[in-house]
A and B are shown apart, each in its own frame.
Chain A
């Protein structure tokens, strides 16, 4: 899994409900990210965190929330305020000393 695990792989949500996507890493990396991917579009940054208890908004943070209470965990909550939540969500990790980001296998969220 490349040291980063996302769960579940598929998730279905009813309109008006909040849902939380899990992201766990086991390589003690400082930085973690959440991206959203829609068909035919690049990855868009939702939130990122460089240290525990600190995180910053990315380009499309509205309707999402995150927490970073532990270094290994960076869960993403998709709230009912997110108008178009159906998408493929990707979590990534990056060590401070290296620029590259390593991705999980993604969670496909569908609103039904």
Chain B
């Protein structure tokens, strides 16, 4: 069964304190892994797509990496405005356009 697990469930950081969020997955034939940011009461906002092991993507203070079993979202020198829930999703081969989501990591960055 296709499955996506995110850890930790919640993370509290001081402003400037770098850290990483984890997304582990078990799917049959990964087509893509996606990271989203979600603010309270709003829809998820697309951040990155990763397609194959070894791939990396960067956007401002965020960097996403992918291995054959997991993905990391590295946050460098976070600011309070980075506080949000970060969601990971995968799309598996044979289920075109069907996405499986993890339960998210709620990040709180204190000034």
Contact = CB atoms under 8 A, between A and B. Distances in A.
Contact of A31 (B49, B89, B97): B97
B98 to A, nearest CB: 6
Given A42-B102, A42-B104, A90 B34 contact: no
A42 B101 contact: yes
Nearest to A4: B43
A103 B97 contact: no
Contacts of B42: 105-106
Interface in A36-86: 40-45, 48, 50, 58
Contact of B99 (A6, A40, A45, A88): A45
A44 B31 CA distance: 19
Interface in B29-83: 31-32, 34, 36, 41-46, 49
* B interface, size bucket: 20 to 34
Interface residues of A, number: 27
B91 to A, nearest CB: 5
A108 interface: yes
Contacts, number: 63
Nearest to A101: B99
A100 B41 contact: no
A42 B4 contact: yes
Contact of A43 (B46, B87, B96, B97): B87
A43 B101 contact: yes
A112 interface: no
Interface of B: 4, 6, 9, 31-32, 34, 36, 41-46, 49, 87, 89, 91, 96-104
19 contacts: A33-B99, A40-B9, A41-B103, A42-B6, A42-B87, A43-B44, A48-B97, A48-B98, A88-B41, A92-B43, A99-B34, A100-B32, A100-B49, A101-B97, A101-B99, A103-B43, A103-B45, A106-B41, A108-B41
In the A-B complex, the 5 residue pairs with the closest CB atoms: A103-B43, A42-B101, A42-B103, A43-B101, A99-B32
